[in-house]
């Protein structure tokens, strides 16, 4: 007879390095490998506790004296688009959404390089080559989709305008990474993709859209606070963001619990050795 032993995930902490969001601060991450038959249940469970996926790793900020980074998600049922967001949806209504499996293409990489070169030339991903890009898209042990946003010219030419890498969780869509044509910056395609995935989540009956981290005090993250029905994972629970100015990025030595206590307080899937039931099929995903 064949028996499977429970696999208890091991958690690690990265070495401190400069924070990409707040100048003068150092970031540190708590992370674990995402692998095996329980990968989807781990991704589902830890995403509800502020973790994010990057390829085969789940991570959460765990800086020594800063807790500014807050995981953010939108309650789909309560979301109401603002006037400017409705204008944005009308402006981009010519785009067609194509949902594909997690496979990278040369067309995607060309768009990705143009996006980085013009908008994030000094960022941590600036030197990514085609093989690293393919790994970012394709190395996933969970249910991941690539959403391409395409326009078509009068002559039938296909133009790729934007791409979003999205995980399908048991309670929502998790936006892993997105990029767009830098020549279309005035079309606010980053915000448009969020609006479109809210509509998609509503269509397939998923209650949340996970946006990654919102960082008070970081100008590049301000746009996330403009979405209604936004909540953040703060002090171990999801809370309505309310007034964004109520959150502070201030640091102090006691702002973060010890690593051992953080890990001890995590909730893991009920049985890491139990078979994973098949995922519920969702139309369009």
Query: pLDDT per residue over 179-208, tens digit each?
Result: 999 999 999 999 999 999 999 999 999 999
pTM to 2 decimal places: 0.90
Q: Is residue 20 part of a domain?
A: yes
Q: Is residue 146 part of a domain?
A: yes
Q: Is residue 27 part of a domain?
A: yes
> 60: closest CA among 257, 204, 197?
257
Q: Is residue 278 part of a domain?
A: no
Give the pLDDT score at 271.
58
Give the pLDDT score at 37.
87
Q: Is residue 275 part of a domain?
A: no
Q: Is residue 6 part of a domain?
A: no
What are the CA-CA distances from residue 193 to residues 49, 149, 175, 199 (Å)? 24, 8, 9, 10
Q: For residue 131, what is the domain's CATH number?
A: 3.40.630.30
Q: How many domains does the chain have?
A: 1
pLDDT in tens, 133-170: 999 999 999 999 999 999 987 777 889 999 999 999 99
87 lies in which domain range? 11-264
Question: How confident is residue 252, by pLDDT bands cut at 50, 70 and 90?
Answer: low
Question: How confident is residue 274, by pLDDT bands cut at 50, 70 and 90?
Answer: very low
Neighbour-count burial of 94, counting CB atoms closer than 10 A to its CB (0-12 exposed, 13-18 middle, 19+ buried): exposed
Q: Is residue 95 part of a domain?
A: yes
How does the average pLDDT of the chain come out, rounded? 89
Which of the two residues, 266 and 274, has the higher pLDDT score? 266
């Amino acid at each position: 007879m064949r028996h499977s032993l429970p696999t208890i995930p091991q958690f690690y902490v990265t070495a401190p390095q400069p924070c990409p969001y707040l100048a003068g601060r150092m970031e540190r991450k708590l992370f674990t490998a995402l692998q095996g038959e329980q990968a989807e249940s781990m991704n589902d469970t830890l995403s509800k506790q502020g973790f994010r996926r990057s390829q085969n790793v789940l991570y959460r900020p765990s800086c020594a004296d800063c807790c500014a980074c807050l995981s953010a998600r939108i309650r789909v049922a309560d979301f109401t688009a603002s006037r400017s967001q409705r204008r944005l949806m009308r402006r981009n209504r010519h785009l067609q959404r194509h949902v594909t499996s997690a496979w990278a293409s040369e067309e995607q990489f060309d768009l990705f390089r143009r996006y980085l070169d013009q908008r994030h030339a000094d960022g941590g991903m600036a030197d990514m080559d085609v093989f690293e890009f393919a790994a970012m898209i394709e190395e996933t042990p969970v249910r991941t989709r690539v959403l391409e946003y395409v326009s078509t010219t009068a002559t039938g030419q296909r133009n790729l305008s934007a791409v979003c890498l999205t995980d399908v969780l048991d309670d929502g869509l998790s936006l892993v990474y997105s990029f767009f044509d830098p020549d279309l910056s005035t079309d606010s395609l980053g915000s448009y993709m969020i609006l479109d995935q809210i509509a998609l989540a509503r269509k397939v009956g998923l209650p949340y859209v996970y946006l990654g981290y919102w960082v008070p005090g970081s100008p590049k993250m301000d746009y996330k606070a403009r979405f209604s029905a936004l909540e953040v994972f703060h002090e171990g629970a999801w809370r309505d963001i309310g007034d964004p100015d109520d959150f502070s990025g201030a640091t102090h030595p006691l702002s973060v619990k010890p690593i051992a206590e953080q890990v001890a307080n995590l909730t893991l899937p009920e049985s890491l050795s139990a078979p994973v039931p098949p995922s519920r099929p969702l139309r369009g995903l």
